[in-house]
Structure 1
């Protein structure tokens, strides 16, 4: 049976895309210039906090069907992208082993690069999450806003740096997103989801795995490049700045999520309610730190 990607290419009428739209070309591909990315993210921050101020004198919006549609598209899109990435990376793992798949330049295939680009652009679609929060007059928690904006910039840096280990972090993130956005979709329709607490646990586990992988890849690169006397299996593909930025930001995410979990589920409270990031007690699966409470 042909892989899903081949099936889609053969049977779905897709327009012919210029090279810079299906390959990462800094300065030519959409949102591939640092000033454009930073400007877009600043615009995101200005927009959401402006909406929050405007909504202070207005009634909260429900927007149930738009919200459900938004989350349905994100959960199904995450699932499709996860499958496409899996069928591309699994043969590499099978033929060459885990270290090659994580660290060799050959693991950065044209298809994976295209999938990384799609994942990157999805991060800007996810910024709409915060617009819904602001229109519903829900608190804009720091973890939510910081992670939405920082994750988009993280994806930008890894595309520029061509870090071969990217597929591990993205695959785990997509796996959590499938469940997370389904949770949002279902609860917006009135469903009662018993496993919402475990989403946060999954997110923490995701970041622990992420950090093990990116620290290993970063150590492999620096040991092979600067400290050849150190024990190392070989170098790891990617630029130094991208690797270090990824290590630093993912470490911050893990600490913030652990703190969120403690504040929400563990810390005793004298109030009748637990301290919640936005009234729901579920951290966003891509590190956004707040779920959307349904009215």
Structure 2
């Protein structure tokens, strides 16, 4: 077990590519604001064009679409798992004390080292996740499945992640570990569905998504406390405030989605049980 941990720690934390990583504006892949902004613009434009000229879309058989979805979901599930483990080990490796977990010293923290390697990979993975929308558009049920929550979330998250790295947000690792953990469960669910084995825990996926926002807000309270009680404050505090507003909007949308999709199901189950008792 110790040998496994040492090997994992080397490949996910101590490897030169990871340990010596440094995020430099305009030099790394996607390290310019133009990259996420252009990605969001192209993403939204393609969605509009897809619905405006739906007859021009390629026709894929349900079997082919399921296979593509399965491969895509499996890749993102495994990638998310690696990011959770890698970023968690990076935090343990880099933190000088527990205060640092919630508050990077302002003006003294640079976006370098293992933690920001995983934050950068997390940011780039959000571009890969845009394929989710393509798969929905190519399916026959696109009008039913493509919601405002889905499009809003996918279009804005890459920009949010970019701003988090560029501002050296003290909560970057919280976002990576929290969101990637949820995506391990979510993409595992999508993978099983694509393989024809629909699990019965779809509701758990939505509950975990809601819980991650609550967890982020709790950590943000600790960040705000340290920012107000520390001489120089915490790094990236401005982005934290902006991100809290964004996460609040997502939380409200997820709660609305939860109530519309699961409250009705609960009431239907109660009515069914009531009818069964009357019989």
TM over 0.5: yes
Larger radius of gyration: 2
Mapped to 2, the partners of 1:174 and 1:45 lie a distance apart of 24
Map 1:1-295 onto structure 2 (within 5 A).
Answer: 1=3, 2-7=6-11, 22-56=21-55, 61-62=61-62, 63-92=65-94, 96-97=97-98, 99-105=99-105, 110-137=113-140, 138-139=142-143, 140-221=146-227, 223=228, 232=229, 236-267=233-264
Give the unaligned 5+ runs of structure 1: 224-231, 272-295
Structure ranking higher on relative contact order (CA contacts 8 Å, 6+ apart): 2
Quote the RMSD (CA, aligned, Å): 2.9
State the Cα distance separating 1:192 from its structure 2 match. 2.5
Q: Deviations over 1:45-65 (max 9, x none)?
A: 111222233335766753111
Q: Deviations over 1:224-272 (max 9, x none)?
A: xxxxxxxx3676532343122111101111111111111111158999x
Q: Deviations over 1:99-132 (max 9, x none)?
A: 2222134696511111111000000000010011
**Equivalences, count:** 254
Cα 1:91/1:234, change in 2 over 3 Å: farther
Q: Are the aligned partners of 1:108 and 1:162 in contact in 2 as well (CA < 8 Å)?
A: yes
| Structure with a larger share of its residues in helix | 2
Cα 1:180/1:83, change in 2 over 3 Å: same
Q: Are the aligned partners of 1:55 and 1:135 in contact in 2 as well (CA < 8 Å)?
A: no
Q: Are the aligned partners of 1:103 and 1:235 in contact in 2 as well (CA < 8 Å)?
A: no
Mapped to 1, the partners of 2:38 and 2:111 lie a distance apart of 28
Give the unaligned 5+ runs of structure 2: 269-279
Q: Are the aligned partners of 2:40 and 2:155 in contact in 1 as well (CA < 8 Å)?
A: yes
Q: Are the aligned partners of 2:170 and 2:237 in contact in 1 as well (CA < 8 Å)?
A: no
TM-score normalised by structure 1 residue count: 0.76
Mapped to 1, the partners of 2:135 and 2:189 lie a distance apart of 16
Q: Deviations over 1:160-194 (max 9, x none)?
A: 11012211121011111111001101111110201
Aligned to 1:286: none
Q: Are the aligned partners of 1:207 and 1:254 in contact in 2 as well (CA < 8 Å)?
A: yes
Q: Are the aligned partners of 1:220 and 1:234 in contact in 2 as well (CA < 8 Å)?
A: no
